[in-house]
């Protein structure tokens, strides 16, 4: 139920902001708005303000299904209009005014993302510190010289684009931007006791890595550093049977030094339960060696080792907060970069460089909406900003049924001096509907594949 409500709230907010952009632009351009509707289906609420601007008689409505909405404007192409009202008809407005009204919806979604990101920047977000866990053996990160425990101070994508790295999430975003631009990244890192920071080059551009969810895994980066301690133990698990306890800090396994929680998890998994492991642990200032026989568990058609314990403590956290002006600047920058990332991914899919499996539909959006709400309001606000950018960019694409398609009509009118004919408009609309249904079908298929395997 929480997931369903979160999804409905997300869609309602995004559609309301989108249509509000159209509405405010229409009012500003002197167009009479007849109806402002959020959703389709049975009406839940109808409201008509007593006081409105001269010439306005807008009716507001909230409908049962928040999967859409519309702003109905006075337009003589939809029926007879009194001569006195013609100046307020949409189709009688100059080309620039019509284009502004159409573009205002997607731009409102992008503006919402700026506001949400700015609010997060001002209030501060607790994120893992940019301390790296041990990379996978033989991975690009390991071959570049990373071994785990390094704190990332800064990153350089372009020669004149040096960025401070305040958190692990900031590092993740910088690496994603490097993948978008197909550039290597030079990290400035240091470990405790180092005389000076050193530079590490991650070959993102040279390897041609895509800016998707697998980017960090392809580099061999397993996440932020976590201490190799044991958390809650299952009563009948291998760890409890062997005598391990919550809070034990694992120093070595079979004589191999354990650098962090990620490395410990890998050692346990890769053992496949084929034999006992000698855990050297620190407990209350004493060092103990305890033999543990991991259980053999089949996971995704692969046998892995499990000890029935939460392995690895929480990462070290830092609150990332910015001042009023810097918070707005960073919000604008993040919105622009996210929009660029969305457009580049669409372009890569069109030319076959990225898989259409990256498309997500309503089921994935609903799933992530529910998860983000469960984590907290900040996670939900971040999720809402990302989806708002996606909606804004999508609606600016030159598809006939979208706002971008109408802008293409106006571009044609500006170049040729005459509007697109009704016959061609109808053909393009049909083609746009078919293409949109195809994209939605692919996205829905991807959703089902992700959620149900």
Catalytic residues: 19
Q: Round to whole Å and give the CA distance between 132 and 222.
A: 8
Q: DSSP assignment, residue 138?
A: T
Q: Round to whole Å and give the CA distance between 273 and 228.
A: 20
Contact predicate 252/234, CB 8 Å: no
Distances (CA, A) of 160 to 156, 190, 271, 338: 8, 22, 46, 20
Count Cβ atoms within 10 A of the Cβ of residue 441 and give its class: 0-12 exposed, 13-18 middle, 19 or more buried: exposed
Give the closest residue to 221 by CA, choosing from 162, 174, 269. Answer: 174
Give the closest residue to 295 by CA, choosing from 305, 303, 310, 280. Answer: 305
Q: Round to whole Å and give the CA distance between 184 and 171.
A: 14
Give the 3-state secondary structure of 85-121: HHHHCHHHCCHHHHHHHHHHHHHHHHHHHHHHHHHHH
Contact predicate 415/380, CB 8 Å: no
Give the relative orientation of helices 403-416 and 95-123 as an angle to the nearest 10 degrees.
Answer: 140
Could you list the beta-strand ranges (E) of 203-255. 230-233, 249-253
Query: Which H or E run contains 282?
Result: strand 277-283
The C-alpha angle with vertex 177 and arms to 225 and 129, in degrees rounded to 5, equals 20
The torsion region of residue 40 among left (phi > 0), alpha (psi -120 to 50) and beta comes to beta
Distances (CA, A) of 224 to 172, 249, 267: 10, 18, 17
Tell me the β-bridge partners of 318: 127
Count Cβ atoms within 10 A of the Cβ of residue 348 and give its class: 0-12 exposed, 13-18 middle, 19 or more buried: middle
């Amino acid at each position: 139920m929480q997931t369903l409500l979160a999804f409905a709230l997300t869609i309602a907010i995004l559609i309301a902001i989108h249509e509000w952009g159209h509405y405010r632009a229409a009012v500003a351009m002197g167009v009479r708005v007849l109806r402002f509707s959020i959703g389709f289906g049975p009406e839940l609420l109808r409201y008509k303000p007593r006081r409105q601007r001269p010439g306005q008689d807008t009716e507001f409505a909230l409908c049962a299904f928040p999967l859409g909405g519309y702003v109905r404007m006075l337009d003589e192409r939809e029926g007879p209009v009194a001569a006195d009202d013609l100046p307020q008809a949409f189709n009688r407005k100059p080309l620039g005014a019509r284009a502004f009204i159409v573009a205002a919806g997607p731009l409102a979604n992008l503006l919402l993302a700026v506001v949400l990101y700015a609010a997060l920047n001002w209030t501060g977000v607790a994120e893992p510190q940019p301390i790296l866990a041990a990379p996978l053996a033989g991975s690009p990160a390991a071959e570049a010289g990373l071994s785990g425990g390094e704190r990332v101070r800064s990153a350089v994508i372009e020669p004149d684009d040096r960025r401070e790295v305040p958190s692990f999430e900031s590092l993740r975003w910088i690496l994603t931007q490097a993948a978008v631009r197909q550039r290597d990244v030079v990290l400035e890192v240091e470990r405790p006791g180092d005389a000076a920071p050193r530079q590490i080059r991650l070959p993102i551009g040279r390897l041609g890595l895509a800016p998707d969810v697998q980017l960090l895994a392809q580099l061999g980066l397993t996440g932020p550093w976590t201490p190799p301690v044991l958390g809650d133990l299952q009563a009948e698990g291998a760890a409890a049977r062997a005598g391990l306890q919550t809070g034990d800090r694992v120093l070595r396994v079979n004589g191999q030094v354990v650098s962090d929680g990620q490395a410990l998890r890998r050692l346990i998994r890769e053992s496949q339960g084929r034999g006992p492991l000698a855990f050297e642990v620190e407990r209350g200032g004493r060092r103990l060696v305890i033999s543990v026989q991991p259980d053999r568990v089949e996971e995704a058609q692969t046998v892995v080792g499990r000890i029935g314990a939460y392995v690895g403590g929480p990462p070290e956290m830092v609150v990332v907060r910015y001042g009023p002006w810097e918070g707005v600047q960073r919000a604008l920058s993040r919105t622009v970069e996210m929009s660029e990332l969305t457009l580049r991914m669409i372009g890569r899919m069109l030319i076959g460089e990225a898989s259409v499996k990256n498309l997500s539909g309503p089921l994935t959006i609903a799933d992530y909406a529910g998860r983000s709400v469960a984590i907290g309001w900040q996670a939900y606000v971040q999720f809402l900003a990302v989806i708002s950018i996606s909606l804004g960019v999508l609606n600016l694409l030159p598809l006939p049924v979208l706002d971008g398609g109408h802008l293409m009509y106006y571009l044609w009118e500006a170049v040729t001096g005459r509007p697109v004919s009704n016959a061609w408009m109808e053909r393009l609309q049909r083609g746009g509907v078919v293409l949109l249904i195809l994209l939605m079908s692919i996205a829905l298929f991807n959703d089902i594949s992700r959620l149900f395997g």
